[in-house]
Amino acid sequence: MSDTFDIKNVFEQTKELYGNLIQSVDFNDTYLRYSLIWVAFNPIFWNIVARLEYNTHFLTKIAGSAKAGCYTLAVIIFTLGIGRDHMFNLALQNQETSPFLQIDILQKVGYTAIVIGQILVLSSMYQLGITGTYLGDYFGILMKDRVTSFPFNVSNNPMYQGSTLSFLGISLIKAKPAGLIVALAVQFMYDIALQFEEPFTAKIYANRDKLENEKKNL
């Protein structure tokens, strides 16, 4: 009986905690809405543009070369990322701070999440370079071999996971439940993006390997 009571008590406390966190979020705040829109827009944008480039080479034609086109897209994506992060910070300024998140252990988790997140992001950029990071394969700029060293030996998508961890860490440090909502949205959109990106990227490299094998057999 005591075990049953304890389980029920934990469930009720957890339910109350989630309820309090959700209730403290002002979903009518304009900045929060813009932040969520920006979070959704960015991966949708770069996937559409990258597919158009692959099929039409329009950025390559405009920029004059595949590399210049990729660098152009990189600047656009990077700028959009800055805009998204800025809107996120504006949204948090208007949101309520939760006392449930203002505990020492969660603050430490927040700082740890940011450190790990930034290590994943920066190390993956170092390993891939600009063209590898910013969809160079859609421009025909392919890597010779798949990168398997850190951080790719601990994560298949370190850039995305690192970004999500950074959003989570900032939200915990500032004790903003609204930030947790945005962090969840970031991960959700990345998960959707990967459903399109991973199969298409695999197709690009499979086509490359097929052509190379055909040349060897000639």
**Residue 183: helix, strand or coil by DSSP?**
helix
Structure tokens at 107: 């603050």
**What is the C-alpha separation between 35 and 179, in angstroms, rounded?**
10
* C-alpha span between 115 and 100 (Å, rounded): 23
Could you tell me which residues come within 8 angstroms of residue 72 by beta carbon, excluding any fewer than 6 positions away?
59, 62, 63
DSSP 123: H
Query: What is the crossing angle of helices 30-56 and 66-93, to 10°?
Result: 170
Closest CA to 152 of 162, 167, 144: 162
Query: Is 115 a known ligand-binding residue?
Result: yes
Could you tell me which of 148, 157, 166 has the C-alpha nearest to residue 197?
157
Q: Say if residue 19 is exposed, middle or buried (CB neighbours under 10 Å; 0-12, 13-18, 19+).
A: exposed
Is 198 annotated in some ligand binding site?
A: yes
197 is annotated as contributing to ligand binding: yes
Q: Which residues are annotated as a binding site?
A: 115-117, 197-198
Binding site members for S-adenosyl-L-methionine: 115-117, 197-198
